[in-house]
Structure 1
């Protein structure tokens, strides 16, 4: 198979969207509270949305072009959990788009919420089976198991 010219990014790259969207939302609040320039908040919102779109496309390309690499990431005890950031990033972008298009934002939020719920069910189901390395168990997970 010919090597892909697209960068095959890890799911943790969705964290960039969380940071940008958080900064954009904070700037919007600062505009409302202190009258800071509204344009900066809007530019940050669209930067977050553009980053989300690019990361989403590149991450999907990883699943299409290199499914074994993507499955290995999904099976990793730490890296797998970053996959869930895709849904959270989608919901944050939806929040940023709300003032511009309620219908688009609602649809995007529904997509992100559905993805997040599906990921949570899948990942929690794997954790509850108990077939994993005990070294990957954190104290918080252990506490949940005995309650």
Structure 2
């Protein structure tokens, strides 16, 4: 008989938020691959990182599938939890981001299969989360936090690789879901942040998720329009840039937080901002945007190495996959 909180029984507490690690690392991988292409580098760090991320994603996915099969009650509790349910689409987004990375290394069939699985799962999870948001009897305003963007951002990610795989209308369908719901949710969350008690400290890193919808929206919109830099594209990019500056301005609010898995919420939005800046640099032929992209990427690289180390330490100290975390 398994001990209550040892071995495989710990997987009943395995959180879907763990896949935020994959989102951040794959985002960095895409940025590195883009940089390799722009500079025609002989060294390929992006490809090495992609290999590592695939292995890590496979391990996490097997662990989560085990939880789904072995600990059904724990899985459904997470699926219905007013906060945790919003992290579930991180699995779908991870698949979509891996699809983008594999497209960049010209593994077209792998990219398509990952995209197909990720897009289908993203749609199902978006419907599930939206159904629970609307047909509920348990949500309170305090439950809302920037992680609510995750189910929405996933839809905006779909067209980035999707433009290479499926007809345009399918990609516009997903883009429309995300880009219309983004300002609605942004209004709800700003109301909650301004007029209600502060979020718990462990959720403060999720404020960085505010960067993701406009940054990813810019990348996706440019992909959908064939590289056009029109007024709407500029609005998306510059709002993402503004919010990045705002969070840098607010850095003291984050400096003394205790480590939690929510720290990985810093990474994917910054990766999106880096990739958006590099994309802007290519279209506008501007070294200024290129510099922004590389500065953000450098900071992101340091953060990911540090967060990975902290995650390993936390796992060793049984601070992850436990009933209290």
> Greater relative contact order: 1 or 2 (C-alpha under 8 angstroms, separation 6 or more)?
1
Distance 1:15 1:51 in 2: 12
Equivalent residue in structure 1 for 2:52, among 34, 40, 47: 47
Distance 2:136 2:77 in 1: 19
CA separation of 1:83/1:53 partners in 2, compared to 1, >3 Å: closer, same or farther?
Answer: same
Equivalent residue in structure 1 for 2:143, among 136, 143, 146: 136
Equivalent residue in structure 1 for 2:132, among 112, 116, 126: 126
The equivalent residue for 1:110 is 116
Does 2:89 correspond to 1:87?
no
The equivalent residue for 1:2 is 2
**Cα shift at 1:130:** 3.8
The equivalent residue for 1:71 is 76
Higher alpha-carbon Rg: 2
CA RMSD after TM alignment: 2.4
TM-score (norm 1): 0.85
Tell me, yes or no, if the aligned pair for 2:33 and 2:101 is still in contact at 8 Å.
no
Distance 2:52 2:144 in 1: 36
CA separation of 1:97/1:128 partners in 2, compared to 1, >3 Å: closer, same or farther?
Answer: same
Gaps of 5+ in 2: 146-183, 190-325
Tell me, yes or no, if the aligned pair for 1:52 and 1:93 is still in contact at 8 Å.
no
Equivalent residue in structure 2 for 1:26, among 31, 54, 63: 31
Q: Deviations over 1:91-138 (max 9, x none)?
A: 111222223521121011100000000000011011111422324256
TM-score (norm 2): 0.41
Q: After the TM superposition, which segments of 4 or more aligned residues of structure 1 sit over 6 Å from their partners?
A: none
Q: Deviations over 1:44-92 (max 9, x none)?
A: 1111211211111111111111111111111211111111110000111
Distance 2:75 2:107 in 1: 33
Q: What is the number of equivalent residue pairs in this alignment?
A: 144
Gaps of 5+ in 1: none
**Cα shift at 1:35:** 4.2
Tell me, yes or no, if the aligned pair for 1:90 and 1:111 is still in contact at 8 Å.
yes
